[in-house]
Every structure is written in structure tokens, then in C-alpha cells.
Amino acid sequence: MNSHSAALTIDDLSVDFLGLRAVDGVTMIVREGELRVLLGANGAGKTTLMDLISGKTPSTQGRIHLYDLDITNKPPDAIARAGIGRKFQIPSVFKELTVRQNLEVGSCRRRGVLSNLRLGFPGEQTRRVDEVLGTIALLDRADTLAADLSHGETQWLELGLLIVQDPKVLLLDEPTAGMTQSETLKTARIIRELRGRHTIVVVEHDMAFVREIAERITVMHLGKVLAEGDIATIESDPKVRAAYLGTKGIH
């Protein structure tokens, strides 16, 4: 991977909702293979920014580029095909299929060939599914129905459904929401393993989790970028302390 090329370029991006600027002139460059964490209180504009990138919400100003491709205000399915994969807080998996079958369907989704399930899979695709099962720590649950998974396992399977489609950029919305402490630590391990192989943007509140995974952090406040840097830079930044009542940190 060329670590110097920009995978995601956001330039002066804004959106107005009835006069309220939920995202206000955000400029951000995420390099290829980077893991970027978006931090900020509720209402800071983090999820809205993810909505703008993935096409769920149209912007009123600014541009978004995926590598050299302008994806600003394109339909969500076109943005997904271009290589933006998004995992929402609420998982959407195929409950009636096994873990492996979920990933098999996911791996041929992009090509729209569900008939592969009936025809059997080429060896390369089977290897890819096995590789993803290992990455998301569900190899021993491969033949379990998705309906029988724990909350954490369901979240990992949904992450696997994204990874198997090999998106250029992964957007993860609070991937540890509702998880136990051990599930959260396991999620941190999984995301660290993906770092470098995928470009990842994570929205997260849990500072313990952020410390486990963060390379570079962008702090948002009232729709704007307040600060950017590594965890030490962010935690000692007086602007961040002032905005988020320093003693408590960001939660």
C-alpha cells in the first residue's frame, strides 16, 4: 500500500438542517491504510459526517473524494460500489443462515451472484471466507446460525460481511456499543488487525477502546473539527479540555 496517498479527502464539507449547521466546514484527509477515530460529544456531528460520506445525507457545501473519484452527493448504492463500506450500530445479518453462509452471500453480493450458493464456491472465494472468519474470530462458530450468536459475535459477523466485500474505506459507527468489556477488547484486537490492510474511520465514545486502537484522532465539536492528532496530543489539547470539561475527558 502507498501510505502517502489519500484514501478519503473531505474538503470544506457542510450540511444545514433547517438553519442548523450539523457539519460545518469540515476538512479532513485520511491516508490509505490509516485508522482514524472521530471523537466528540453527542451532537458534535460525527454520525452526520459518516452519513454524508456514505450518501445517506446530501451535503449543502463542499466535496468528498474517494481516492480520485468525486463521490459528493452520489446515491448510497453508487458510493458503496465505489468502495465505501459502512457498519451501523444496529447489525443487519441473515439470521436464518450460518455464519459461513452469511459471509458467502456477502462475498458475492457485490457481483450480485447469489446463485453461487447453489453452484458451490470457487476455491479462492472459500479461502477468502476462511480468512475473514479468522480475522473476526468466528472460525469456531462458522456453522452456527447467526440467530444464535451473542451481541458481540453478531457485531463481528456484520464487520465480516463488510470486510469480505473488500471495501476501500470502512466506516464503523460505535462498533463496541452494548458490548461486554471482554468483547470490547476483542473488537480492539480485530480492528488493529484490519489496520493497514483497510482504511478505517471509527466513530467511538469509549476512551478506553480508543486508546487501544487509535493512531490519529479527529475531535469534532458543534459540527467543526476542534483538534486532530495522536492520543497524547488530543488529551493535552487545551481546546479539547475546555470543550469537554477536561477532568472527565471525552465520553
CATH classification at residue 224: 3.40.50.300
- Is residue 176 located within the same domain as residue 75? yes
- Is residue 135 located within the same domain as residue 108? yes
CA 224 to chain centre: 20
pTM of the model: 0.89
- Is residue 160 located within the same domain as residue 174? no
- Is residue 76 located within the same domain as residue 15? yes
Give the chain's domain count. 2
Note the pLDDT tens digit of each residue in 185-235.
Answer: 999 999 999 988 899 999 987 888 999 998 899 999 999 999 999 999 998
In degrees and rounded to multiples of 5, residue 12 shows phi and psi of 55, 50
Average pLDDT, the chain: 89
Which stretches does DSSP call E strand in 77-178?
Answer: 84-87, 169-173
- For residue 61, what are the contacts with CB-CB under 8 A and spacing of at least 6? 12, 13, 14, 15, 25
- Is residue 158 located within the same domain as residue 179? no
- Is residue 14 located within the same domain as residue 53? yes
User: Can you give the residue range of the structural domain that contains 248?
Assistant: 1-83+169-251
> Of 117, 147, 166, which one is at a domain's C-terminal end?
166
The C-alpha cell of 251 is what?
A: 465520553
- Is residue 156 located within the same domain as residue 180? no
Note the pLDDT tens digit of each residue in 93-103.
Answer: 999 999 999 99
Closest to 163 measured CA to CA, from 197, 189, 139, 124: 197
- Is residue 79 located within the same domain as residue 173? yes
Quote the pLDDT of residue 122: 65
- Is residue 62 located within the same domain as residue 185? yes
